[in-house]
Structure formats: C-alpha cells, structure tokens
Structure 1
Amino acid sequence: MIMLKDYPILKKAPIAEALIDIRVKLPSDFDIKNLSSIYESIKDQYPEKQERVKSKVKIEPQAEEKVKASKLVIDGYRYVSSDKKQIMQARLDGFTFSRLHPYIKWEELRAEAYRLWQLYRDITSPESITRVAVRYINNLKIPMPIRDFSDYLTAPPTVPEGLPQGVSSFLTRTVIHEPSLGANAIITQALEQVVTDIAPVILDIDVFKLESKGIEEKNVWEIIEKLRHFKNKVFFSSITDNLKEIYK
C-alpha cells in the first residue's frame, strides 16, 4: 500500500525531465486538423509549433508477393515554450506535458498540465482515457572515483565473483507492480560513459496505471497525485544517503 509520506526536499534535484501523460481513445471520425487549433489558445506561451510524424506501413498484394508501402503521416503536434523548457504534445493517442531542467514545483507542473489538458480534452472529446502516467528522468552525477556503485545506488549493477569488477557501462530495467493502486513502475538505470570526474547515471522512473475499459476523468488527477507519491517512493528507495547528501 502506498502511504503518503514526506520525503526530503532536494534543492539541487537531479531531474532532467518530468512528464505527465494521459492516453486516450478518440472518436473514429476525429479530424487531426482540430489538434492544430490548440495553437491559437497557447501561442503566447508556446510559440513554437512542430508536427509529429510517424511511419505508416501498408501491406499491398502485388502478383504473388506482398509489398510493404510506407509513408509519413502526422499524428499530432508539439508546442514548445519560449524558453524551450516546457513542451505540450497533442496527439491522436493522447496528451503529454513535460518540463525540462531546471525543475519547478510539482504544484506548478501539475497546474499547467491540467490547464493544457482541458484544452486538449475540449477539442478532442475523448471516448475514454486508457492510461495515465507520471515519469521522471533523473541525471545522477556520481563523483569519481567510485569504489562501489552500492555506495550510491541501492540496486547497483553486480558482476560475478572472479571477474574484473570495474564497470564502464550498464543498463538495468525492472518492472514492479503496486497492487493497491493497480499501477506499475518501470525503473531503468543506465551508465553509458564516464565524463572526466563524473559518472552520469540515468535513473528513469515511469509510473503508470493502465485500464483498457477506461478511467473516469473525474478520477484522473487524483490518480496522478498517487502516482507521483509512488514515483517518490521508488526514487528515494533507489538511492543511498550518500547520494541524497549530494543533492540536498
């Protein structure tokens, strides 16, 4: 069970990107051009408009063989703030609001996401909400030299005994389930390349609730709040006191 708990405030929080994501099912006759109209309501704060494209593959019979024909189609739009720190995605499959470093208060992040979600919802009239998520991507800068990653990470990479113990890179991915929320967390840790006196470790925490039958909109933001607490529990359970001290 997730208990609401106070965690230490990290004044130098290592958050590279924070996202709130809501996936939806839209009416089959929804015209993607309507997503473009959101721009008129937000262009003062989000002046940069970008098309999102994806590859659409179609299998066509040709003689006795099947040929794959692909083309690029627009599946949504990205709206970027003047300072490049905030991004809204309005897509056929849902809505995402993200904040890049430096992080702002959760209350501010949530309020802006809610404001933009209302614009998206009013234009799209979703038939159902199928997934909600809170995702935080952290860039942990661990000082070198590192005696053991366990000094900083509670689930460090392990090397079998008898082998050289120096770790130059690693990637771990763990999925856990929280039954009291009916939610999952994907926890990814990665070290790619040591830069001078710093070992940059990515701690990516993607916490989400998936419901194919749909989530009532009146419950969405309460769920998001609970997912945030779950995310906090995962984060502070993943790092040691040594690492917390670096970011206080």
Structure 2
Amino acid sequence: MAHYNRAPIAEAVIDLQLGFEEQPTVTHLAKYAASLRDSFPQSQRINTFALAFAASNAGEISSNTASETLGVRLTSSKGDRILQLRRQGLSYSHMQPYSEWESFAEEMRPILENFVLEFKATSVNRLAVRYINRIVVPQGVELDTYLNLSPRLIGDVSADLQGYFMQLVLPQKDLGVEYTAIVNSGLEAAPDPKAMAVLLDIDVFCTKQLAMDSAAVWDVLYQLRERKNKIFEAAITDEVRRMIE
C-alpha cells in the first residue's frame, strides 16, 4: 500500500482478547494503571450499564439497573494515545495525527509484553486491527466519486442525501474461517457546513486461539493490517487518493 501523507485516519486500534491463568481483577488493573501514570496521566474506569424492565401480574412496571467495571481507560498527556486495560485483554489506540503502522506497532509491543507478564496471560483468543477514517468531501457531491461502496438512492424519491449508515460483514475465507472484516460507512458532522465527513471504519479480526507466543501474535496482527489496507484501497477511488497523497 502506498504511504499517504494526508491519510484520513481518525483512530487506529490494535485490540487483543486474552486468556489468563486467573482473570485480572479491577483492583489489580487499577494498581497496574497507576504504575503507567508517567506515560498515561489521565485515567477513568470503563463501566457497562444494564437496564431491565419487568411487569407484575397487576400490570405495574418495575426496573432494575446494574453496572459492572470492566477495566481502566488511560490517555496520554497529549490525548494522542489511549490504552484500555480490561479484564479480558487490552487495546491501544493511535489518535490523530497518525504516523505509520511500524512505529505504532513498536509502541504497542512492550505494552503488550508487560501486560502479559503482569497478569500471566496464557493465550490470545481474538486479535483485531481497526482503522476509523473520516474523509471530508464537498456538500452535495455524488459519493460514488469518492467511494466504491455507497448507498444507492431509490428512483426519484429524493435527490438529497442528509445521512446514511451501512455495514458490511465480510468473511475473509482466503485467510481462514476465523477471519472476518466488518466495514461501516456513513455520514458524520463536518466542521465546515459546506462539507460532509464520510466515515470509513474497517475492523479486521481473527478468532483463532493462539498460545501466548509473541512472534505468532504479531504475524497475525501484520496479516490483519495488510488485509485492512487491501479493503481500504478497494473502497476508495482515485479522487480520494489524490486528496490524501
């Protein structure tokens, strides 16, 4: 893949779900996060909330809420890196401005190695590489000029497009039955009212279980990254290439 000097990458993510001798506790995760304060001074809990409703025989509706802390979200002082430490694994995000995969992966490598040692990870259960792109185009243009995947308007119902969202789930059978790509595309708010921000979110993942072998893990991650590049190139047109070269 060609290197683009103005790549439209808003966020790049490497995500790993791991198996452990004993699943990490939130307390242990928080203590470990505190040891990383020099690199990631901002910290907050990752919580999930659930709301359930039930109807009694008398027709009265009651509700119950439950919350669970899944881990800790850490942010660098510049806000350009985000590290999520979870009971199931970890993810590392490279925010704008994006540099390159090689340096991003090398940043992640010691983070992963230290996490594995600290929490005694024994296996990798899921690996993912996700790139969220925002491509800014003039308001009212034909999206087919920029993307090879875009919504088709229905006859003469309306010529104006104010918003859309579409998702493609694409098994990557040539890589193996464990490989899948999910491509999301849609419109987002743009800073300029005369422009549109087109979302192109590419998430490629593998559910093959691997032993906690660093070389094997990185071989798969590089494979996922290459497939992400192939999908990106297939999704954009030469017009976008000229914009970001």
TM range (shorter): 0.7 to 0.9
Match status 1:86 vs 2:108:
no
Q: What is the RMSD computed on CA atoms of the aligned residues?
A: 2.6
> How far does residue 24 in structure 1 lie from its aligned partner after superposition?
1.8
Matched, 1:188 2:184: yes
Q: Deviations over 1:198-245 (max 9, x none)?
A: 11111000010013xx22232111100010000001111101001110
* 8 Å CA contact 2:168, 2:183 repeated in 1: yes
Residue pairs, 1:16-95, within 5 angstroms: 16-28=10-22, 30-55=24-49, 69-95=64-90
Task: Report percent identity of matched pairs.
Answer: 28
TM-score where L is the length of structure 2: 0.87
Stretches of structure 1 lacking an aligned partner (at least 5 in a row): 1-6
**Amino acid in structure 1 at the alignment position of 2:119:** T
Are positions 1:199 and 2:193 aligned together?
A: no
Per the TM alignment, residue 36 of structure 1 is displaced from its structure 2 partner at its CA by: 1.9
Q: Given residue 212 of structure 2, which amino acid in structure 1 is its aligned partner?
A: E
Counterpart contact for 1:172–1:189, Cα < 8 Å? yes
Which runs of structure 2 are paired with 1:115-126 in the superposition (5 Å)? 115-126=110-121
* Shift of residue 108, structure 1, vs aligned partner: 1.2
Cα shift at 1:193 = 4.6
The 1:58/1:118 distance shift into structure 2, 3 A limit, reads farther
1:128 matched to 2:123? The reply is: yes
For residue 228 of structure 1, what is the amino acid of its counterpart?
R
SS of 1:121's equivalent? helix
- Point out where structure 2 has 5 or more consecutive residues left out of the alignment: none
User: Secondary structure at 2:230's aligned position in 1?
Assistant: helix
Whether 1:162 and 2:159 are equivalent positions in the alignment is no
Give the conservation status (yes or no) of the 8 Å contact 1:99–1:109.
Answer: yes
Instruction: Deviation per CA, 1:105-153: give whole Å up to 9, x if none.
Output: 211110111111112111222243211000000011012341x211111
Deviations 1:82-126 (A, max 9, x none): 101101110011100001110022111101111111121112222
One-letter amino acid of the structure 1 residue matched with residue 243 of structure 2:
I
1:11-55 per-position Cα deviation (integer Å, ceiling 9, x unaligned)? 011000000000123345643322123234422111112111223
Which residue among 170, 179, 186 is the counterpart of 1:176? Answer: 170
C-alpha separation in 2, matches of 1:81 and 1:154: 36
**Most deviating of 24-33 and 134-143:** 24-33
Contact 2:122-2:211 at 8 Å conserved across structures: no
Distance 2:136 2:237 in 1: 13
The 3-state SS of whatever aligns with 1:13 is coil
Distance 2:64 2:189 in 1: 39
Question: Is the CA contact 1:22–1:94 (under 8 Å) kept in the aligned structure 2?
Answer: yes
Cα distance in 2 for partners of 1:104, 1:170 equals: 30
Tell me, in whole angstroms, the C-alpha distance in 2 between the residues paired with 1:45 and 1:193: 32
For 2:230, the equivalent position in structure 1 comes to 233
TM-score normalised over the length of structure 1:
0.86
Q: Give the Cα separation in 2 of the matches to 1:215 and 1:136.
A: 23
In the alignment, residue 198 of structure 1 is paired with which amino acid?
A
The answer to whether the Cα contact below 8 Å between 2:25 and 2:87 also exists between their aligned partners in 1 is no
